[in-house]
Amino acid sequence: MRRLMRRREAAEIAGEVAAAAVVPTPSVEPDPTAAAFFDVDNTMMRGASIYHFARGLASRGLFTTNDLVRFALGQAWFRVRGNENPDHIAKAKETALAFVAGLKVDEVVHLGEEIYDEVMSDRIWAGTRALAQAHLDLGQRVWLVTATPVELARVIAQRLGLTGALGTVAETADGVYTGRLVGDLLHGPAKAEAIRALARREGLDLSHCSAYSDSANDLPMLSLVGSPCAVNPDSELREHAKENGWRIRDFRTGRKATLIGLPIAATAGAVAGGIAAGIALRKHYRSS
């Protein structure tokens, strides 16, 4: 009995000592002026979200395989050269949403949800998703910022539990897509302008904000915030990030890195680069 009492006393003392030794972790007060902005293609998601969506529409017979290949080549062309030539941007504007012309907005949103669950969800980079979650855990808002149609961008944001999305806005008439855009593609400098407008509306201090992208096309967005980060960066962005002391995170390995890096690497010629990127995409999806 005495031995049992001594053990209890020893346990109580040990518990008191342990409790006294605890160093409280200071709580982090949410900063209402801070937020994070994430590019989607090759940053949050492996590959191009709009291509995955178009592929899903093609599998439902909404357009042909040849249409899909032409679409892939056009997207590759824009990714390689779209930031250099106004004519390429104008062409991209004309074709970016032509494949949904005549479809109802509600139908496209429903299809976006189905296609995300079928072919996009397992292409989310776990590392980038964790970065976004870290901001959410700090009480910060997190937005996707992408050239992808805003309806699809919102689906992705909702599925990931994020605050919302900024995306390219398509023209509609009576709830049906016309196949034209309202303004420009949300690409390059347009992303930075959208973030500035959102910051004014939401009371954000951009010096307290973070931004994440894989592409040098997004330097205007990355340079806008206090904490930029290059994720799965192309060679130009990686070099810029190193020179400016920006964070770099690369979640690619082996073949995935080769496939994703190809469109940026293929700048020796716009046509050759576009074709090479399109072939890489086709090979990738045939083997997936």
Residues carrying an active site annotation: 39, 41
Report the relative pairing of strands 227-231 and 210-213 from DSSP bridges: parallel
Query: Do 228 and 207 contact (CB within 8 A), yes or no?
Result: no
Ordered DSSP codes for the chain: -HHHHHHHHHHHHHHHHHHHT--PPPPPPP-TT-EEEE--BTTTBSS-HHHHHHHHHHHTTSS-HHHHHHHHHHHHHHHHHTTT-HHHHHHHHHHTTGGGTT-BHHHHHHHHHHHIIIIIGGGB-HHHHHHHHHHHHTT-EEEEEEEEEHHHHHHHHHHHT-SEEEEEPEEEETTEEEEEESSS-S-THHHHHHHHHHHHHHT--GGG-EEEES-GGGHHHHTTSSEEEEES--HHHHHHHHHHT-EEE----HHHHHHHHHHHH-TT-HHHHHHHHHHHHHHHHHH-
Report phi then psi at 169, rounded to 5: -100, 125
Report phi then psi at 258, rounded to 5: -65, -45
Rounded Cα distance, 284 and 184, in Å: 30
